[in-house]
Amino acid sequence: MTTVGINDIGLCAHFSEKGDWAFDFAFQLARESKCQLNIFYFLRSPYEKYSEPPGPPRKIDDKILVQTDRRVREYYDKCLGEFVDVGFKVCEESRHAKELRTCLMHREYQLLVIPYLEREITFGNVPIEEFAYRFQAPVVLVGPDKPAQYYLNPPAVLIVDRMNLSPGSWQEIQVDAEEKSATVKA
C-alpha cells in the first residue's frame, strides 16, 4: 500500500482562539516532522456562505494584498520564534476548494490543517465535515470544543501514526449517505 509522504503542512489561517489551536497543532507537527509549514490566508473567509458572481474573479488591489500579507506574517511571526521553514500565501480566489486543490497539486502541502470554529459551520460553501471528508488529501479539523480535539478525513486516518495524537483525542469524519451522494462545487 502506498502512503503519503509529508514534506509540507498547510494551515488555513484564522485569527481566533480556535485558529490558534489549529496553528499550534500544525506548528508542532511541522517542527517534529521537520516539515515546512505553509500558512494560507483567504481574503474572503471560507467560513462565510457566498454566491460566486459569474465571470472571472475580480483582481484585488496589490496594496491590499501587501497589507494583508504583512498582517498575517506579523500575527504568526511572534509564535514562530526561530522557526524559519515557513511560507505565507494570501489567497485571492474565493473558490476555496479550487484554491486549496491547486496548492496541493503544486505540492505546497501534503497535510491540511483547518480550524473547526463551531459545529455545523460551512467551509467553502459546504458543511465543514463534508468539505474535509471529500478532500483528496489528508485533512485535520482542530476543535471546536478544545485544543486537543481532532477530526480526520479518511486519508488522514491512514497517516494518523505520524501525527502523535493522544488516544481518544481524534475521530474519523463520517458523513451521511445524502452528503456522500452530493457533489462539491469548486
| Domains in the chain with CATH codes | 8-47+56-181 (3.40.50.620)
* Cα–Cα distance, 21 to 34 (Å, whole number): 20
Q: Which three cell numbers stand for residue 185?
A: 462545487
* Cα–Cα distance, 69 to 87 (Å, whole number): 11
Q: Which of 47-51, 90-94, 102-106 has the largest mean confidence?
A: 102-106
In this predicted structure, what is the pLDDT of residue 186?
35
Please calculate the CA angle 89-92-95 and round it to the nearest 5 degrees: 110
- Residue 182 pLDDT exceeds 60: no
Decide if 27 contacts 75 (C-beta within 8 A).
no
In this predicted structure, what is the pLDDT of residue 96?
79
**What's the Rg (C-alpha) of the chain?**
16
pTM comes to 0.89
pLDDT band per the 50, 70, 90 thresholds, residue 55: low
Q: What are phi and psi of 159, to 5 degrees?
A: -120, 20
pLDDT band per the 50, 70, 90 thresholds, residue 176: confident
